[in-house]
Amino acid sequence: MRFHGLYHTRTSNNSHIQRRVLSSYCDGEDSLLPVLIVGGGPVGLVLSILLTKLGVKCAVLEKNSAFSRHPQAHFINNRSMEVFRKLNGLADEILRYQPPVDLWRKFIYCTSLTGQVLGSVDHMKPQDFDRIVSPVSVAHFSQYKLMRLLIKQLEDIGFHIRSNGLMNSDDSKLAERDILLGHECTSINVTEKCVNVTAYLTREGKRVKKDFQCNFVVGTDGAGSTVRRLMGIDMSGTHDLQKLISVHFMSHELGQYLINERPGMLFFIFNTEAIGVIVAHDLEQGEFVLQVPFYPPQQKFEDFSFRTCEKLIFKLVGRELSDINVLDVKPWVMHAEVADTFVSGNNRIILAGDAAHRFPPAGGFGMNTGIQDAHNLAWKLASVIKGIAPPSILSTYETERRQIAIFNTALSVENFKAAMAVPAALGLDPNIANSVHRTINDTFGSILPSDLQRTILDGIFSIGRMQLSDSLLNENNPLGSSRLSKLKQIFEEGKSLQLQFPAEDLGFRYSKGALVSDGDSSSSARETPTGRRRDYVPSSDPGSRLPHMKIQLLSAFSSKDAFSTLDLVSADNIEFLLIIAPVKESYQLAESAFKVAEEFKVSLKVCVVWQEKPSDGNGSSKTALLPWTNIVDVIEAKNYPTSQSWWDLCQMTDRGAILVRPDEHIAWRAKSEIKNDPLLVLNKVFYSILGSESSCTTGDLDIVPIIPLDEIPETTLVGSMRVDYTDE
């Protein structure tokens, strides 16, 4: 946590630049592991790839002795797929191996998989495939399959998976690029110098203790996070929304039937014998997961044997299956909670993914929000470790991601409520079922034997399911007809469970953090989540994701090769991107940006966006920006003659500029020409983003970094000079 260095005056011919850098954590031992990731799920593995691409050494501890085969999460939204595009073509692999879209685009509501269809909702719209707002589509791909691809990528970049501990059992030095399975973290001790982590593994029937040291610990260890518990971090929100049983099973027979008769992703099934949701993870392979409500203590997990689950599946399918194979049964609890803090232990302990937030699965926000946590965190951790920014920049990770987690929690809850509107319309209000369960617990729990309690509960639920009888739920019955009409209205008005949320998926914006707000953000007031789909509107507001537009290299304008504006942002180093138009004032701004970035020891790329090829054929900006060379000239690749220009899309003039962070979010913009000294403006911008200081030269005398006036004492020292601040 210590820094050395100060500001001092220097002449322009002095090549030495003294600035604040990270002095080494932990006694200057270069061999100390910079980042230890606790938790080997998708979020932890994605973070390890991102950090490695940025040149940061890391390792992973996973308490389980093998990676999970339970499908779990399966919907990957647009923003996560955009992140995966930068992971060595991972998005292309997912799209190649996922089931065909027509097999999973619908949610189907029915009395059984072979019975009456009560309604269906197609969640894919034509614009979801045209790639106008994003260079990649959403995907349906089971979590364990994603894990396989991530593990393959990690192995390709030199990671080693070890299931029996370190190569040397007496060595406490955790090697970079190790993934240690079967290591349960039991204690975390943050010192002034580093983090001490204790883990246990079982070897030859004995528990073996391992002590490790590192600079940072990132807890990506799931909803029941050990890291969160050890750090004493509480969660706020709604605990225990619903208990459920998850049944992973295979049936090629069922998959083929559904492909031919009613393909879909989710099947909501309501009949007099059973109620449940079957998730079709892959119809072609016949892979499914059944989710059913679970009401302990009257119902016990032990009651859900494989044979019992088979019978339950047959009731929901409407007939027996000759090839059913139950693979796994596990209980889980649905929460809607966010950790009170994401960063603790003097900025050394960080939570991400389900360790930081637990959502209802409605809308698939859990894993996707975690992937985007990792994307936000990686470049900031790398900036600290490489001495570009102080550890305080990590507080902006919490500032930015916690606000998104809180919003996504509320959105997931609203979407979950929308899912409950369907059974409620059929006369099966889930709130009543939960109230009945609570009443039994509160009144009979300490009086009646558990078997009798279960008989009462099952009897009440059985009576409730009679609302779904064929004699009642049909068009000829006035009550049944009314309920079916209400159900149809829910589907038509988009008030049922939704799959896609483009406005929130691509349009989420950080209102404060490692950015400079211009006070003119069009989306300053975030809409209250409704649980309904809203379309994404591109924005250049600071904190927003950079809008996607197809562009081409100006030098290769005659070719058909187009790429996304998002591809201008590097995934392999900490590099900021400045986007300008080919005008004199913007070139001057770019020159200042290069100078400031050099002082901050951070890479900068300048992209010059041309709306049309110059008539004289001289379309290179490199001459105008010499001696700087990290410059790219591009031209808009319009789909139609009437397509918006880049600057119109961003609602700016071509005299403006956009500065983009390494995570593709906009750090700062100038909507029109800058009137003040661009060197001073950009120095303040980079200081606000990185939280570290530079010394920018004007003539022969350095200029002290711009700091908000209320943070500057009346008298201070700059180098050996006393300076009195009496006015601006």
Q: Which has the closest alpha carbon to 85: 667, 575, 565, 661?
A: 565
| Distances from the Cα of 118 to the Cα of 34, 142, 336, 444, 667, angstroms | 55, 27, 29, 37, 48
DSSP 311-350: HHHHHHHTS--TT-EEEEEEEEEEEEEEES-SEETTTTEE
Tens of pLDDT, residue by residue over 100-130, are 999 999 999 999 999 999 999 999 988 888 8
Does the pLDDT of residue 705 top 60, yes or no? no
Task: Work out the pLDDT band at 442, boundaries 50, 70, 90.
Answer: confident
Specify the range with the lowest mean pLDDT, choosing from 332-346, 452-466, 529-543.
452-466
The predicted model gives 696-711 an average pLDDT of: 38
Q: Which has the closest alpha carbon to 653: 589, 583, 592, 569?
A: 583
Specify the range with the lowest mean pLDDT, choosing from 107-121, 529-543, 605-619, 657-671.
605-619
Distance, in Å, from the CA atom of 36 to the CA atom of 23, rounded to the nearest integer, reads 20
- Helix/strand/coil for 22: strand
- Burial label for 507, CB within 10 Å (0-12, 13-18, 19+), is buried
What pLDDT score does 437 carry? Answer: 82
Task: Work out the pLDDT band at 22, boundaries 50, 70, 90.
Answer: very low
Report the residue count for the chain. 728
Cis peptide bond prior to 297, omega within 30° of 0 = yes
Among positive and negative, which fits the CA dihedral 314, 317, 323, 324? Answer: negative
What pLDDT score does 69 carry? Answer: 87
The residue type found at 413 is: V
- Helix/strand/coil for 448: coil
Distance, in Å, from the CA atom of 587 to the CA atom of 589, rounded to the nearest integer, reads 5
Beta-carbon-side half-sphere exposure of residue 421 (alpha carbons within 13 Å): 20
Structure tokens at 166: 């370190």
Q: Which has the closest alpha carbon to 300: 139, 454, 186, 184?
A: 454
Angle in degrees, 0-180, between the axes of helices 365-385 and 394-425, rounded to the nearest 10:
180
Task: Work out the pLDDT band at 701, boundaries 50, 70, 90.
Answer: very low
Specify the range with the lowest mean pLDDT, choosing from 69-83, 179-193, 512-526, 571-585.
512-526
The 10 Å Cβ neighbour count of residue 97 is: 14
What pLDDT score does 115 carry? Answer: 95
Distance, in Å, from the CA atom of 189 to the CA atom of 170, rounded to the nearest integer, reads 20
Distance, in Å, from the CA atom of 466 to the CA atom of 479, rounded to the nearest integer, reads 13
Angle in degrees, 0-180, between the axes of helices 143-156 and 90-97, rounded to the nearest 10:
140
Structure tokens at 36: 């230890």
The predicted model gives 176-185 an average pLDDT of: 94
Answer with the residue of higher pLDDT: 609 or 693.
609
Q: How far apart are the first and last CA of the chain?
A: 32
DSSP 277: E
Distance, in Å, from the CA atom of 503 to the CA atom of 492, rounded to the nearest integer, reads 20
Return the residue matching tokens 């099966």.
428
Task: Work out the pLDDT band at 204, boundaries 50, 70, 90.
Answer: confident
The predicted model gives 632-648 an average pLDDT of: 86
The predicted model gives 664-690 an average pLDDT of: 94
What pLDDT score does 398 carry? Answer: 97
Return the residue matching tokens 């993914």.
353
Distance, in Å, from the CA atom of 389 to the CA atom of 386, rounded to the nearest integer, reads 8
What pLDDT score does 165 carry? Answer: 60
Task: Work out the pLDDT band at 78, boundaries 50, 70, 90.
Answer: very high
Structure tokens at 9: 């005056």
Beta strands at 563-564 and 139-140: parallel, antiparallel or unpaired? unpaired
Distance, in Å, from the CA atom of 237 to the CA atom of 359, rounded to the nearest integer, reads 10
Structure tokens at 659: 């500065």
| Distances from the Cα of 665 to the Cα of 207, 473, 501, 507, angstroms | 45, 51, 19, 11
Tens of pLDDT, residue by residue over 206-233, are 899 999 999 999 999 999 999 999 999 9
Specify the range with the lowest mean pLDDT, choosing from 1-5, 188-192, 723-727.
1-5
Distance, in Å, from the CA atom of 337 to the CA atom of 240, rounded to the nearest integer, reads 10
Residue 50 phi/psi, 5-degree rounding, is -60, -45
The predicted model gives 38-60 an average pLDDT of: 97
Q: Cβ distance 544 to 507 under 8 Å? A: yes
Percent of the chain with pLDDT over 70: 87
| Distances from the Cα of 247 to the Cα of 66, 274, 286, 300, 630, angstroms | 19, 14, 14, 15, 53
Tens of pLDDT, residue by residue over 271-282, are 999 999 999 999
Q: Cβ distance 61 to 36 under 8 Å? A: yes
The residue type found at 664 is: E
Q: Cβ distance 437 to 443 under 8 Å? A: no
Does the pLDDT of residue 693 top 80, yes or no? no
What pLDDT score does 521 carry? Answer: 59
What pLDDT score does 526 carry? Answer: 64
Distance, in Å, from the CA atom of 603 to the CA atom of 90, rounded to the nearest integer, reads 26
| Distances from the Cα of 711 to the Cα of 9, 706, 708, angstroms | 21, 10, 6
Structure tokens at 439: 């009443």
Distance, in Å, from the CA atom of 373 to the CA atom of 361, rounded to the nearest integer, reads 17
Distance, in Å, from the CA atom of 61 to the CA atom of 47, rounded to the nearest integer, reads 13
Q: Which has the closest alpha carbon to 193: 346, 2, 25, 347?
A: 25
C-alpha triplet 163, 164, 167: angle, nearest 5°: 115
> Across-strand partners of 38?
61, 219
Task: Work out the pLDDT band at 713, boundaries 50, 70, 90.
Answer: very low
Q: Which has the closest alpha carbon to 176: 62, 58, 61, 60?
A: 58
Structure tokens at 400: 């930015």
Specify the range with the lowest mean pLDDT, choosing from 7-21, 32-46, 536-550.
7-21
Does the pLDDT of residue 244 top 50, yes or no? yes
What pLDDT score does 259 carry? Answer: 98
Specify the range with the lowest mean pLDDT, choosing from 31-40, 162-171, 718-727.
718-727
Averaged pLDDT of the chain: 87
Distance, in Å, from the CA atom of 37 to the CA atom of 285, rounded to the nearest integer, reads 33
Distance, in Å, from the CA atom of 30 to the CA atom of 35, rounded to the nearest integer, reads 13
Residue 198 phi/psi, 5-degree rounding, is -110, 135
Q: Cβ distance 85 to 91 under 8 Å? A: yes
> Across-strand partners of 268?
109, 277
Answer with the residue of higher pLDDT: 677 or 713.
677
The residue type found at 627 is: P
Does the pLDDT of residue 642 top 80, yes or no? no
Q: Cβ distance 36 to 13 under 8 Å? A: no
Q: Which has the closest alpha carbon to 152: 61, 76, 49?
A: 49
Specify the pTM.
0.89
